[in-house]
Structure 1
Amino acid sequence: MSADSLGAQHVSLEWDERGGVTVHMDGAPQSHVQPDDPTLLVFEYVQHLALAIDAMPAGPLGVTHVGGAGLTLPRWVEATRPGSPQIVLEPDEALTELVRREIPLPRRHRIRVRPVDGLTGLRALKEDSADVVVTDAYAGGRVPAELAGTAYAREVTRVLRPMGLGLWNLADEPGMRWVARLVATVATALPNVVLVATHEVLKGRRFGNSVLLASAAPLPLEALRREVARAALPTGLREGAALTKLLAGAKPFGEEGQQSPPPPETGRWRAR
């Protein structure tokens, strides 16, 4: 294995014996790319983002990504829905340059990376311009506060088409109280919401990631249930009464939001 570094260990790329590469940010693994097979998704939360998109109607989709890193999901969308116009909002220009150089994008892709933060970048996009908006951005292992507030949720709603889907990659402690407040926040703008995560995370057994799906239109629940049932990892869909129970007493964040809890030390991801 070899690694290419950028800056003072802010970003590094670690290659494995199978030809894949893991992008580490601030010492933590952030994403994995398999250059010769972009449909191979290693991280569980990326698999869950993908299954949500798989539940949408066939054909190209206009996708806006808030957060870029290794561009794993944009590569997957290009491979599974060729011709999809995609915009990636990634403020770290040095990171994008490193990824483009060491893990080149496929030929004839329609992925455009803009060096701007998520909220600023969304405000510059046209109304009703995206079928999907994916929020997968972390700083120091935490979702930034500005991506968790009502101001951001309104911008996602404005950019989405009427039948569009908003996706959030979220990380929280057992109990999922921050996630509950984030879901309540998003629901003020996009009222149809569900969560997808591994059973361990949904049962509160460990710190981990969940994916929020939100839309102004009814979600394709039957298609989502099928995708969840055939997921490679033991995966669940929290909806209906179970989701209402999670949200009980959860107050939406304000305009500026609140950052997600810090990740635990390595080896302490399970609840005691």
Structure 2
Amino acid sequence: MARKGSRSGDGPRADRYEIDGGEAELLRDADRDGGWVLLVGGVPQSYVDLADPTHLDFEYMRLMGDVVDCLGAPGEPFDAVHIGGAGCTLPRYVAATRPGSRQVVLEPDGRLVQLVREQLPVKNVPGLKIRVTDGRSGLAAVPDGADDLVVLDAFSEASIPLELTTVEFTREAARVLRPGGTYLMNVADGFRLPFARRVAATVREVFPHALLLGDPGVLRGRRFGNLILVASRTPLPVGELSRRAAGGIFRARLLEGEDLGAFAAGAAVLRDGEDVAAPVPPPQVFGKS
């Protein structure tokens, strides 16, 4: 894949690559051997540590890792499907912490997949396959009850594709999950969280058990950021996740039960065909002007 090197001032070198979705950059972490940041359109998409896949640098990814850690028995392997690939950070984490897992990543940008395979190799990640396909088509091809975990972490630059948030798509996620399986999704929103409230209402329409994790400031709707939604047909590990959220490196709040019901109260379920604007972060979030 063609590479275009660039350097900004005295900062670290960023290698740039043309992909289907525009331009990607790879930036080496000068403070950590094996650490790389993958950006698309100037927006950080993944942090990958090739030397230690259990190191999760982004706050929201650490929360997703905590969820994975609390599901099932410690070290129990998963069958998982990931919608959205980028650097395959969470699949690498699952492979390292749950040996024997079988995972499929659905990623529509073929040139991004090629970039990751060449520069952030996944061939040594056991049990991992990448399919170049969009999330809806890829998930539709998965058999009923095939997976223990469905992960939605898909963004077009900084916005989640709306077709992956609707009740119709959420029912597809539920269809491919085993009875005790878990749906794990990353949602970004800002002031007053109107979109996140609708996503929470949508997930609660399909799954009887759900919880929401996030930075306290983001959960209060004071700033733009990532929120982690977790849902299942069976009870979730609320106690353990609450302890981790309160005592982890990245402090977070957890909403569930009546609190999550109040969070989503009055929010309309998202449906296919709606004309809804996906939240876009303000320019200062990623240092743009």
TM-score w.r.t. the length of structure 1 is: 0.94
Determine the C-alpha separation between the residues in 1 that align with 2:85 and 2:104: 10
Match status 1:220 vs 2:267:
no
Q: Tell which has more relative contact order, 1 or 2 (C-alpha 8 A, sep 6+).
A: 1
The unaligned stretches of length 5 or more in structure 2 are 1-11
Aligned residues: 269
Match status 1:255 vs 2:266:
no
Tell me which of 11, 20, 42 is aligned to 2:24: 11
Counterpart in the other structure of 1:56: 71
Amino acid at match of 1:130: D
1:223: how far off? 2.3
Determine the C-alpha separation between the residues in 1 that align with 2:234 and 2:277: 27
Tell me which of 133, 149, 168 is aligned to 2:166: 149
Determine the C-alpha separation between the residues in 1 that align with 2:172 and 2:180: 16
CA contact (8 A) 2:183 2:232 kept: yes
Tell me which of 98, 121, 136 is aligned to 1:81: 98
CA contact (8 A) 2:117 2:123 kept: no
Q: Secondary structure at the match of 2:283?
A: coil
CA contact (8 A) 2:107 2:130 kept: yes
Aligned CA RMSD, in angstroms, stands at 1.7
TM-score w.r.t. the length of structure 2 is: 0.89
Amino acid at match of 2:56: L
Tell me which of 179, 197, 200 is aligned to 1:183: 200
Amino acid at match of 1:107: N
Q: Judging changes above 3 Å, is the alpha-carbon distance between structure 1 residues 238 and 154 closer, same or farther for their aligned structure 2 residues? A: same
Which has the larger displacement, 113-122 or 231-240? 231-240
Determine the C-alpha separation between the residues in 2 that align with 1:72 and 1:199: 24
CA contact (8 A) 1:64 1:132 kept: yes
1:111: how far off? 0.6
Match status 1:132 vs 2:149:
yes
Which has the larger displacement, 194-203 or 121-130? 194-203
1:244: how far off? 1.8
1:65: how far off? 0.3
Tell me which of 10, 14, 28 is aligned to 2:43: 28
1:108: how far off? 5.6
1:241: how far off? 2.6
Q: Secondary structure at the match of 2:55?
A: coil
1:145: how far off? 1.1
Q: Secondary structure at the match of 1:209?
A: strand
Determine the C-alpha separation between the residues in 1 that align with 2:269 and 2:17: 37
Which has the larger displacement, 168-177 or 105-114? 105-114
Amino acid at match of 1:207: F
1:162-203 CA distance string (max 9 Å, x none):
100001100001211111111111222112111001111112
Identity, in percent, stands at: 39
CA contact (8 A) 2:150 2:184 kept: yes
